[in-house]
Structure 1
């Protein structure tokens, strides 16, 4: 009798535990890398797993992510589609709002515990390296060769260097998340209605830009009778080279791009933040702060906070990607229906230099746990997105989900967001790779026709990161220190009136504290790449 009750107790406990895992409280307290242990059968005729299989992951909830119909990241129109169409249940061990690095920190904590899911996706380059170095994830090169669809392989082949950052001893340990070319290359967005009111023309040079910024700051462009506007809004909390409210183009006007490795005329790679042009750019930014053209609070502004100043009608110029007209700049038009925004090229500097941060066609990586029994499951999922969503064919010809990112009007598919019942939802943000699937060269289809000439003018303005390899040995121990030194020095020069000589002191320290060795290692890698 006692044995019977013990068996009943065990069955009850296991049933309860199973239910807890399925509903997912959002916190994982044990090692859930049992992962995909159920029997796997893929029915090629139906194009799905029967019975459904489970694929575990973890997720970050970005501030701009929106939901409707009571959905969330764990259960939504996309996860429902994946299960019904592909027979794959996507289950989250945990999700967390991604603010102030919360997702990266949570990943590090769970990594130390060994609590990694089947699939981890992240855009954080430092975290990716830590995940690879942990030894908990598979080599992915052979998996990709064996399981990726021809469409996905062709997209990856457009720029094979996207693999470089994720390699160790010639092997690939993460799958690059492809992105469009030029997706975060900055162009300038300017208030055309302010230009018209003040009888100004579009600035083409830094000198002309300064004249426009002065007028936007001191000639009451919004007509409220108060001195409460700025010529330009930038966010420097995360440095001068960033995806929105960027100021890399200021440095580009002096022949360098900060916070990245650039190709020099002598054939070597140089770090842009320690080049002489960076000194001139810092002095210019300091002058703009002193003259009031740029808010002193820019020191603390992140990308979205800086953009808020433009959206509120308190700044006349902002630098950011081609898609900013859709978000967040469209909010300005809601606040001021008379506002007119125009895209213009970044200006040239005193010696004719034009430059801005360029975009590599990679935006993160997918890592596959060594304990995942059937990694092909992930490839079935991602292959489908590449084959149909990335190519806008089949059931994804108009979008990922009807009445979410597209709808039907009078029997005709429409992607007009204003017509979508209950509001438009970016379903691609629910996918494991953040944007569904992107083929880099398909960018032209995404760029509005009126923006393309601006983005590609001049064509050589886009300066991409030239060092695409994994961190060098000295980078692993010294790079964080050098980055802090750089950020502190730049902030002091721009905002705290530090003398120009502080830049030269910074450069000397940078080389002495490990930068010189890193220079050697980076160029050794670069010469090796060119020799292939």
Structure 2
């Protein structure tokens, strides 16, 4: 997920007055001061109000203001900056927020697995966050997190006001009639997610047209593999690499494996659709034709894919639409191959239609409260500080050092300095009161020629990424125990079948793979789960419109 690299100045959310009767004595209740790391205590309920409206007692008033929160470890903190747990920004957070905040990093590509282990061992942080609403739903059904409605109502000012200004978020945050997470709204550049980039200079050298269909994409890929596009006289180029390769195949066929689709008004699981078989067939063809890197299925951190792209040995990259990640990749490429001309590529059409690549729903990050949390009042105060003002510096750095204000937009002063000293801090800005227009991208970029070129490419990448609508038949996925359990069981099975279809030769066709997936789905009770999902859809569809 790409972090926003702009800040268009806007007024903070209006304050919401908290009325208290003068002279009321708030009695401090005894309570645990654990920081979410001790599974032997239960979080106390938020205090009840008396008939007069005065809080009868606050069990958290005398507790230390300590909060722990998960963070994605993307390997972006340089050794001289410190670690994700201890660096200039973690110190700044404590100083500015007045909260003792401890960071619990989890590897980005194994985040949910790591969080599950921490939860099971009663070592999970107080605040747990993910981009994935379905994962939050799993934590609800497991009883690992608690409702936040009362805490927001009693302790929040800034976030409560923000939520009143953004009521469209409430359905995404609600499970079984209760709010189990908080979130702020995405801006357009974070709604757009995946993208495809292609070497225009390779197309020009080989006299090829920009591909618009899957068949044309395969022909271009073959030419990139066999036509010596880098001109070194060696057969050493790879046609297609990237971090979201199969996601792109699936999205262009409208069959993301873990998404539910409406087929003639009936809820169907993506991995069981004929269209998912088509996506597996694409993946198999690209692999068997040698058009992708042979190691891409085991390249879990995508380091090899990035290396091939940035050293000028790959012609197509499937990953981010732009933003800091892709801008950094292209910056590195241009250092190695100054004459390279990477440009965004529109998703190609398939026999199933023309659809956009993956795009996010409105909520940015879902932040949930561990049921073992020690001090939810302190957690709310920290989140209020973030949404009110704290997010800005975490995203853009220090004014005059990392950015300067240009007509309300934060313009990076030195892109390398920003990358090293600030870019990782965006992981801490889990709530943001932000605004954006595509024109902000060149405005916020450093003024040097290369930074402006990269910003222009990102702006074009954003336009391309949002040009075609990603197929999402329902705004968010159903979340109940049976759905969560079968999805958890199906995920590794689907990955295993995909790998066999892709790499094990003619005996393992896409049709064979789809049939295996369907049989496993049925074995695990898929028919009953579909019926329950249908009931869920019928009960909730009125709120989707």
Distance 1:259 1:134 in 2: 19
Aligned twin of 1:511:
522
Extract unaligned runs of 5+ from structure 2: 1-32, 45-60, 442-457
Seen in structure 2, the aligned counterparts of structure 1 residues 293 and 469 have a Cα distance that, compared at 3 Å, is closer
Distance 1:248 1:108 in 2: 24
Corresponding residue pairs, total: 468
1:198 matched to 2:206? The reply is yes
Distance 1:134 1:281 in 2: 32
Shift of 1:316: 0.6
- Select the residue among 208, 223, 233 that pairs with 2:216: 208
Aligned twin of 2:537:
526
Shift of 1:377: 2.8
Shift of 1:254: 3.9
CA contact (8 A) 2:109 2:301 kept: no
1:121 matched to 2:118? The reply is no
Alignment of 1:239-278 (within 5 A): 244-264=243-263, 266-278=264-276
CA contact (8 A) 1:176 1:362 kept: yes
CA contact (8 A) 2:198 2:344 kept: yes
Shift of 1:186: 2.2
CA contact (8 A) 1:257 1:356 kept: no
Alignment of 1:153-302 (within 5 A): 153-154=163-164, 156-164=166-174, 167=175, 169-176=176-183, 178-181=185-188, 183=191, 185-234=193-242, 244-264=243-263, 266-302=264-300
- Select the residue among 399, 419, 432 that pairs with 1:437: 432
Seen in structure 2, the aligned counterparts of structure 1 residues 60 and 273 have a Cα distance that, compared at 3 Å, is same
Alignment of 1:75-154 (within 5 A): 75-92=86-103, 95-96=104-105, 98=107, 101=110, 104=112, 107-123=115-131, 128-129=136-137, 131-133=139-141, 135=143, 137-146=145-154, 147-149=156-158, 152-154=162-164
CA contact (8 A) 1:248 1:357 kept: yes
Shift of 1:70: 4.5
Q: Deviations over 1:208-256 (max 9, x none)?
A: 212211111100111121111121114xxxxxxxxx4333343444453
CA contact (8 A) 1:148 1:379 kept: no
Aligned twin of 2:348:
347
Alignment of 1:377-388 (within 5 A): 377-388=378-389
Aligned twin of 1:428:
425
Shift of 1:451: 2.9
Extract unaligned runs of 5+ from structure 1: 1-20, 37-49, 235-243
Aligned twin of 1:54:
65
What RMSD in Å do the two structures reach over aligned CA positions?
3.9
Distance 1:217 1:304 in 2: 20
TM-score, normalization by structure 2: 0.73
Distance 1:85 1:272 in 2: 46
TM-score, normalization by structure 1: 0.75
Distance 2:372 2:182 in 1: 17
Q: Deviations over 1:298-330 (max 9, x none)?
A: 222236233333223221112222224323333
Distance 2:422 2:292 in 1: 34
